[in-house]
Structure formats: structure tokens, C-alpha cells
Structure 1
Amino acid sequence: MSERPILHEYAASANCYKIRLTAALLDQPLDRREYDIMKGETRTPAFLEQVNANGRIPVLQIGDRFLPESNAACFWLAEGTRLVPDDRFDRADMLRWMFFEQYNHEPNVATVRFWMRWVGEENFTDLQRALVPVKQEAGKAALALMDEHLALHQWFAGQSLSIADIALYAYTHVAEDSGLFSLADYPAVQAWIAKVESTPGFAPFET
């Protein structure tokens, strides 16, 4: 790549970590700009006008263009590399698992992690308190589906690690942070986590 992309991020977010991990596995340097989401730094007029009108990170900046959404940024980095399968069906299957991550996994596993670690139960709204058991059950269902797949396949799409694995690894490997999930219940997921972490170029999560 001729560009040196800029990652607008909050380092403790696993959505931002997805992009850093993708770049690390491809030996792609990134410049990084940190924002404190707890202080509202992604809601300032300057950020909303210049970086992302949706007021969220991560955002990958390529030249003077800005690409929000973690999985889109991972795809931009990985297209044409070993992290995207050559086979047409496998590429579509990769996208299927990335959509699953954003629709079934992240809204449950990641959300309760954020609530428990950064909001704190003592600060929960009535709605959050009511939603915790709902999200816990949905998160367990997502992890169980992953475990069933990984009991029969080494990776989520194709025959090697892809950005589908990266997308799902990011919040799965820290799922226990919320205190609501036990990865010991999902042995195939645990074995897959170990494989991801043994991949050459792997970069650990900054917490």
C-alpha cells in the first residue's frame, strides 16, 4: 500500500483492536490517533465534521478519506492478501461471519463487557439492568454457535485464518471480562483462540 493509514481509535476498544491486529498480521504500519470516548472526544463538532458524523470510532483514514466501521476497515486493509480467501464462496462465508459478529456477537458479548467494566452495575439504568440477562443469554447462544462450527472447522471461512476470525477473536478472547461468560464452556472456541494467538505476526490486545 502506498498510503500509511491513520487509525482514529480508543485503544481499549476491541473494535479498534481488530484493525490493529489485521495491520500487524499484514506488517502494515498504522499511524494512530487516540480519543477518550469516556470524555466525549468523539462527539465534538470537529470530530463530527472532520472524522465521522456518526460520532463513533474506529475510523480508518486513507489519505483524505475516512472509513468508519471496524469490519469495513479490516476489509480495506486485507483485500488481496492471505486474510481474504481466494474462493468466491469462502469470501462470501467470511462476510457472513463478519455480519454475524456485528449482529449476534458484538451487541451482546461486547456490550455487557463495556457495561460491567466501564459503566459499573451501581450506575446501571433500569433498562440496562433488565437487559443484562437478555444479552447474557444471546451472548451464550452466539458463543455456542461458534463452538459448534469450530468443532468441525479449523477457521471460520476457508482453510486459513481470515478477517472473519480476527473480527470474532477481538471480543471473544475477552468475553470473560464481564463475569457473565465462561470460555471453559466452549472448548473448540478456546482451541481456536490459541491458534489465532500463535499466528506469526500476532499482536496482543492493549487493555
Structure 2
Amino acid sequence: MLVYGDLQSGNCLKVKLLLSFLNIQHDWQHINILNKETQTSEFLSLNPNGKIPTVVFDDGQVLCESNAILSYFAEGTPYLPTDRYQKAKVYEWLFFEQYSHEPYIAVARFIQKYQGMPEHRLEEYQSLQSGGHKALKIMEKQLSQSAFLVGNSISIADIALYAYTHVAHEGGFDLTGYPNIERWIDAIASMEGYVGMS
């Protein structure tokens, strides 16, 4: 199995983390987005959307979109509950991550870390802060009530939201005001099989 990704990307880190936690063997193919390596005709034949992560299975089948990939590998493991409601709560957080978290925190991080805060994006950067803090407050509230986002054991909801939350400071978000998020980050980072951004 071949996984195309970049471990500086939170969306790719999600997949790498779950595969590592589950000890699933795979070959990791580093792709540099900034060098437009996702826009080659070869890559676009695998993923017409030109994005990573992208998984190519041994039989040639291809799976894209980080949270779809997480759901595929988590099925039948402790990382995705079997209870219908609990499973739906996991998916609720996965959708939250893509629509209410990533568009603010990941984009602000990209502007600050990778683009060096260009003047033409400063207003956009500032506008992302309130949305990012709103998402963090929602997470903080839930994590004040349970050890993880869905109950007291880790699920792919946590992996999905960990990816960009643990580097939120790289987008200007100070996490010191979110003690439960900080506790949660430490708990995930201390798990056996943990891999970080590299």
C-alpha cells in the first residue's frame, strides 16, 4: 500500500498517525505541494483533485480525502465506535473539523508559517482568528466534560482534530487559555506509536 503525503500537512499527519497507531504497514511517498508535485499528470491520474493524502491500495484502488481515509482504516477498530450514536458523534466532529476548524486554523497557519505573512493576506489572517478561537472554545468545552472528544477513549475524531490543533500556535492561536486542549494534546502525543510532524 502506498500513501502519498507530506508530514508538515495536518491532513496527511492524521493518516500517518492512525496507520502508526494501528501498526498498518505502508510505503510513504513524500509529496511537495509547494513544488506542485500534486499537479503532475501522473498524480492527477490518481487524484483528479490534486490533493494529499492519497492512498493507493495493493489492488490499485485509490482513496482520497483525509477523513474518508481515517474512516476506512478505523472501521472494525477501537478508533471508531460500533454504537450507532457514538459513531455519528465521531462523524459530527469530522465534519466540524473540515468546516469549522481547518478553514480557520490551518489557513492561518499556512499564511504565517509558509507564506511569511504577506501584506496582501494580513487582513484575511486577522479575520481567521475569531473563527479559529470559536472552534477551540467548542473543543475546550467538550474536553472539560470527557477525556477525549467522544467519551473516554481516543477515536478518529481526536486524531482528525489533533492534527492542526497541536500546531495552532503556528497560525497565531495561543493555546494557554485552553487547558483541557493542552491536556488532550499531551495525552495523544504520549501514546505508543505516536509520530509527529517532520
TM-score normalized by the length of structure 1: 0.91
Which of 55, 72, 85 pairs up with 1:60? Answer: 55
Residues of 2 paired with 1:175 and 1:101: CA distance? 13
Shift of 1:11: 2.3
Confirm or deny: 8 A CA contact 1:21 1:203 kept in the other structure: yes
Which of 34, 37, 41 pairs up with 1:41? Answer: 37
Aligned positions, number:
197
Which of 180, 195, 198 pairs up with 2:190? Answer: 198
Residues of 2 paired with 1:204 and 1:130: CA distance? 31
| SS of the residue 1:39 aligns to | coil
Shift of 1:141: 0.6
Matched with 2:112 is: 116
Which of 173, 179, 195 pairs up with 1:187? Answer: 179
| SS of the residue 1:81 aligns to | coil
Residues of 2 paired with 1:33 and 1:24: CA distance? 15
Residues of 1 paired with 2:57 and 2:2: CA distance? 7
Amino acid in structure 2 at the alignment position of 1:149? Q
Residues of 1 paired with 2:163 and 2:117: CA distance? 24
Confirm or deny: 8 A CA contact 1:105 1:142 kept in the other structure: yes
Unaligned 5+ segments in structure 2 are none
Residues of 1 paired with 2:181 and 2:127: CA distance? 22
Amino acid in structure 2 at the alignment position of 1:150? L
* CA-to-aligned-CA distance 1:67-125 (integer Å, 9 cap, x gap): 11111111111110011112111100000001100101111101110111111223x53
- Pairs within 5 Å for 1:57-206: 57-63=52-58, 64-122=60-118, 124-125=119-120, 128-178=121-171, 180-206=172-198
Matched with 1:16 is: 12
Identity of matched residues, %: 38
Runs of 4+ in structure 1 deviating by more than 3 angstroms, as ranges, are none
Residues of 1 paired with 2:140 and 2:96: CA distance? 14
| SS of the residue 1:37 aligns to | coil
Residues of 2 paired with 1:65 and 1:81: CA distance? 22
